[in-house]
Structures are given as structure tokens and as C-alpha cells.
Structure 1
Amino acid sequence: MSQPGWYPDPYGTGSLRWWDGENWTERLNPEPSRPPRLRLPAQEQRPRDEIEDTHYAAPHLQQPTWDAGPVAQPLDVTVRRLHLYADDRFVAYGSASLAWPHVEWVAYWAAERPAGYGQGARTQWIFQAGRFPFRGGPRVEVVIERDAVSANPGPDGEPEHVWGRLIQLCQEHAERRLVAELAGRVRGGESVDVAQGLTVHPGGVRGNRVSLSWSSISGATVDGGKVWIQQAGSGAPVLYVPQQNPNAVLIPSLVFQLRH
């Protein structure tokens, strides 16, 4: 993909994203009504001593866009010499596989790893989906790095594109159900633990010694490796959970559904 233009967003937003001929930009078409705070992995080279172990926000809108987004096509590539396949029924990587209706938690993020242990600085795109218990239950985990993907020439050979396709399939076939199930339990009067650090209940949310009612919450965003709950009025983030925690990426959509 060398020609600049609008292409289906590899980050799974359901919009088109502008490809400038070398890199994905932050321009979306159509623009979401409330754009996410999204940091794309930096393309430029930085001095090695300036590179930190930085986590990037996975692409995830404040408002659900599943109904508006196109159906994702199956993904069939080789990553680290293991077969990765995902479609509308299941995801499989190597010897591990999981049907989307059986998925109970998901997590995905990108991280820039500093140089060390004989390796240069590198970006990793991580995707996980599994069943509880989080430590010990069945899961599919894919870690994608530059030059680790083998596929036919084209976008499916690009690690960010593969990662985005996985996320899109997960959003369409697992996240919509998970968010609906969690929201239904809360509306039914339950207090639900989400992302190992946030309790969502009929009156609002609480975590890390902070409690917020629904009327005091303006929304949730993903930024800097954390999912932030924002306070109404100021819009300041006052409560967060790490993005790598199971189902943390569901929080923006869950908060949106329960606030409306």
C-alpha cells in the first residue's frame, strides 16, 4: 500500500483512516463525534537514551460504533512462524484457539520497548483473549513485532495492520456481547468487578479509594497505557486502571452505555 488515500482503519474504529504513503495518520473519515485520545506509535527515530518503555493507547472510541463499522474480513497470516487465523467464529494462534462466544476477557495494547539484552528498541503489538480465571484459564496471546509477520505482500504483512484486524474482529464478535452482558448485570442491580481494579455498580464506579456517581462522570478514555475515568465539569481524569488488565478496553463503551 504505497499510494496515499483513505483506507479501512486498521485500528478497528469503523471509519476510514488517511494513509500518507508511508504512515497512518490520525485523520479519520468520518470523524467520530467524540474522538478518542489516541497515540499512534511514533514513526520517527529517537535517540536511544530518550526511548522509554512507553505504552500506547489501543484504538477504542468513547462511543460504540459496532453497528456502523464494516464486517471485518478473516485474518490468515504467520506470526513468529506460527499460524494466526481469525474470522467471525474464532481466533487461533499456534496450538491455542478460542471461539468468540466463549471469550470472557480481552486485552490489547502496543508498547515501545527500550533497547537492552542485545536487542534494539522495538515496538510490540499485543493481543490477548481468554476465559477466566485470568491466570490459568485458556487464552490466545499474540505478540507482534516488526518483521515477525509472514504474509502475501500488502497490508497483511504490516504488524500494525494485523493487530488492528484482530482488534476489529474482537470488537465485532466478542466485545459487543461482553459490554452488553456487563451492562445488563449492572442494570439488574449487581456490582461488577471490571479490569481488576474497577467496580461498576448501579450508582456509579469505585476503585483505588475513589468513588464516583454516574452524574459526576463525563466519560472514559484510553491514554498512555491506562483507561481513565473522567470527572464531569472539569473533564479531568480522576480514576484509572492499566490498559493491560482484562477487559479494561471495555470500560469506555461500558461507561457510555450505563450513562445513557
Structure 2
Amino acid sequence: MSQPGWYPDPYGTGSLRWWDGENWTERLNPEPDRPPRLPRRERPQDTGSAGGTHDAAPHAPTWDRAPSVPSLDVHVRGLRLHADDQGVAYGDVSLAWPYVEWVAYWAAERPAAPGHVPGTQWVFQAGRYPFRGGPRVEVVIEPGALPGRAAGPDGEPERVWGRLIQLCQEYAESRLVEELAARVRAGESIDVAQGLTVHPGGVRGDRVSLSWSSISTATVDRGRVWIQQAGGTAPILYVPQQNPNAVLIPALLARLKY
């Protein structure tokens, strides 16, 4: 797909997204006036099947218990992917968890294109600023990217992606959330996920401002992080899940709200 144009959104919003010839942009058509009502989330963190829901990787960190996620060592597209309590490495690029400054992960539906069949891609990124130009580890996992591996916890693309996210949550996200929360408590206004400003009085973004008392919850769903107003039936703010540190928003808001 090389020609700019409107195509079905690979991030699952149900709208069309503008492809500029090289990258997916933030332009949606149509852009909904208000996001749809969120479904309740009561399923377990791991659905156990690559054919299940595509946001099945765990979004609820387990920071208050002893780390228990085993290391990951597989080959993706012929390159070694290794992650443990020290860091993550893919091919010839590696990052230690203490030096990671932003993370992003999401599942995308890849549309059919010349030379490509439609299917799900599970994407994981971790890096240092600047976001465009700084060092990063980026892994795209999809059916066929793990040739020769039997089905099972280490052989299914979604399971590998979920394990990678669990390690990131254990060893990087807890630190990032605490560092961001400390800056806000100290009086700073910080930009999170390139679209949401978090400040001592609450949050603001997309011409909407919410105080801490008026925020109910934040939820990761359908490729976006949604923020819901207390007493409302639908979220009124969202940030694309692929933006740097968007996945930290639910935990960050919980740290600052209570």
C-alpha cells in the first residue's frame, strides 16, 4: 500500500484512517462525535488463544507482588527476541529496563495489500527520547513470524506478545508511572502520550479539561485509552494506544487520583 488515501483503520476504531504513503496518521474519517460506550472488562488477563480478543495482553500491572514472569527467548522473523528482568533485546538492538523512557504496545488488523494478506499484528515498542530518532526496540509479531515453533505458550504470537508486555510491566512501567506521578505531585504539567496533559489539578486534552474529582476511570480498549467522566455513561477523552506511554495512563491516573 503506497498510495495516500483513506483505508480501514488497522487499529480497530471502525472508521477510516488516512495513510500518507509512508505512515498511518491520526486523521480519522468519520471522526465520531463521542466515543462508543465501553464494555465491561471481566475476562482474565490471558485468553489463552491467538484467535481470541486482540486486546488480551494484560493491562493490569502486578507491581505489588514479587516478580514472577519467566524470561522470554524466541526467534521472530529470524532474529532473536530475548527479555528478562534486566532488559529486552531484539536482533542487534537492546535496552535495559532502567533506561526505558517510553513504551507502547497494541494489536492492529493489517488490511489486504499487494504482497500481503490481511491478519493481526501484535506490536511492542520500548525506547528512549526523542521519540522519533532515539534508540528503540520494536517487535512486530504475526502468524508466520515464528516459523517452526509448536503451538503453546511460547509459540503463539499473541502469547509471546503478552509475555513481553508482562515483563515490561514488571520491570519498566512501575518505575515510569512513579516517576511521572512524582513530577505531577511536585507541581509539573506533563505531556503523556502526545495528546494528554496531566497536571496537579487533573487532565486536559482535545479541548476537554477534567479535575481529579470528575474523573471516573481510564480503560484500554479498541486501540485507544479512554478516560471516563464520573457519573457519565461514555468516555469523553481518548488517546491512541500506539502513542508513547499511552498504556501508562490508567495506572498514572489511579496513582494521582487517590
Q: State the TM-score, normalized to the length of structure 1.
A: 0.77
Residue 70 of structure 1 and its aligned partner are, at CA, apart by 5.0
Gap change, CA 1:101 and 1:157, over 3 Å in 2? same
Q: Within 2, Cα distance between the matches of 1:126 and 1:225?
A: 12
The percent of aligned pairs where both chains have the same amino acid is: 71
Per-residue CA distance 1:5-54 (angstroms, 9 max, x = gap): xxxxxxxxxx67464xx6676xxxxxxxxxxxxxx13xxxxxxxxxxxxx
* Corresponding residue of 2:215: 217
Task: For 1:63-102, list aligned pairs within 5 A.
Answer: 64-68=61-65, 70-102=67-99
Residue 57 of structure 1 and its aligned partner are, at CA, apart by 7.3
Pairing partner for 1:237 from 235, 239, 242:
235
Q: Within 2, Cα distance between the matches of 1:161 and 1:23?
A: 7
2:159 paired with 1:161: yes
Paired residues of 2:50 and 2:158 also in contact (CA < 8 A): no
Runs of 4+ more than 4 Å apart: 15-19, 22-25
2:112 paired with 1:115: yes
Pairing partner for 1:127 from 124, 138, 153:
124
Matched position secondary structure for 2:75: strand
Deviates more, 1:138-147 or 1:227-236: 227-236
Paired residues of 1:220 and 1:255 also in contact (CA < 8 A): yes
Gap change, CA 1:177 and 1:111, over 3 Å in 2? same
Matched position secondary structure for 2:166: helix
Q: How many residues align?
A: 214
Paired residues of 1:91 and 1:140 also in contact (CA < 8 A): yes
Matched position secondary structure for 1:60: coil
Matched position secondary structure for 1:155: coil
Paired residues of 1:75 and 1:85 also in contact (CA < 8 A): yes
Per-residue CA distance 1:183-238 (angstroms, 9 max, x = gap): 11111111111000000000000011111000110010111111111100114210
Gap change, CA 1:58 and 1:213, over 3 Å in 2? farther
Deviates more, 1:102-111 or 1:218-227: 218-227
CA RMSD of aligned residues (A): 1.9
* Corresponding residue of 2:135: 138
* Corresponding residue of 1:181: 179
Structure 1: which 5+ residue stretches go unaligned? 1-14, 26-39, 42-55
Equivalent residue letter for 1:86:
A
Gap change, CA 1:152 and 1:58, over 3 Å in 2? closer
Q: Within 1, Cα distance between the matches of 2:138 and 2:50?
A: 26
Q: Within 1, Cα distance between the matches of 2:191 and 2:134?
A: 18
Per-residue CA distance 1:80-132 (angstroms, 9 max, x = gap): 00010000001000111000000000000001112121322111000000000
Residue 150 of structure 1 and its aligned partner are, at CA, apart by 4.3
Equivalent residue letter for 1:203:
G
Deviates more, 1:234-243 or 1:93-102: 234-243
Pairing partner for 1:195 from 193, 196, 214:
193
Matched position secondary structure for 1:149: coil
